[in-house]
Structure 1
């Protein structure tokens, strides 16, 4: 009968299917890439990796189940450099595809840890002999802020850093600074010298007329009370300017 033949044929087909071993699940392609990238970092160090690969290494932990290379490249395409990625505000980080609130927050935690590390390198040390570290710290802390900040580094008699404070935060192009308050705070901390620092969110660190006038006023008030102003540094995204270097102090 035809029905019996159909059933035998179906039974044979099922038996044939049963003896075929199940196909092993393929591992995601990015897992091998992650292993290779970790090995390169372990053997050659961070200098052997371009920014996007170092950023990938960070994202491995933050995004464990996805290909992070496109995300790393998208971040760099949006912000420019690894430093600018870490310095970017959380709300802008979240605009990049693949970056959610948790990952954006984790990137800011990494940035904060890096800033803390740089600050520890100058804390208690003779600041003027560690000027490169001072500039590195100020750049990491302020270069990519969206609003102007006015920061003061308070030094002791040996020019060692005793305090680092953001005294004012302003708008995109202005921060209100009160020279007498700057000097008053130095006296409270028994500081005998200060370094003034502020950022220009526009990216151009050229001092404005207002910057110059305000600095000269702080210098004059400080002189009368035995507080020296070693420098006023203006930080931009691509560099910095020293007012002392420009002979404005």
Structure 2
């Protein structure tokens, strides 16, 4: 079954340019879901589980590194922004590890290739093929909310995105800890600095949670659109089923004529 899926265009229509997955990767996943063998579909699941496991372990390591940095004896003499940035690193790392764990758990529950296709597409495999066979233009699929593979790419790539943010913020804090002593030799720790660190903590936590919540909300909305659209379609019957029913009808007609 040949089908061209322009992932980049789908993301533009969805209006989330800041959460763009790799178009080639998402397109490759869709090709595997529609045309791949059982081994390829199982391999897709296994590779994603290995990636989630690696991201989770790396995020936990980053969280421990950030926690050790926050306990440095020289940290009270540095500017409050260093503590603030490393606190945000802790938030990103911990939530990255948790999101990787939840994604790994969701993938581990997929027992069959049909479950794998259903997870990535948002609907059962036969419903996906039935729906695609009803569409003659790719544009119509976008308009109907066919965003399953794109949204799943966002959902599964979320732990890696948070891990990238934790790496960036940790390096930023490390750079500030080396630079600020030359510009701000000493600072007094007081209520203002503690308040600023807490504000950064709230901002980092809110940003991370917004990524997680938005990915789940859009996934839920589009799966609801799937179900609504599928209810409007005729019952699905593949070619083998139609041929079998045709043969039974012919046999019944022949038997009726002979009687």
Larger Rg: 1
Q: Which has the higher strand share?
A: 1
Larger RCO (alpha carbons 8 Å, 6+ apart): 2
Scaled by the length of structure 2, the TM-score of the pair is: 0.24
Scaled by the length of structure 1, the TM-score of the pair is: 0.25
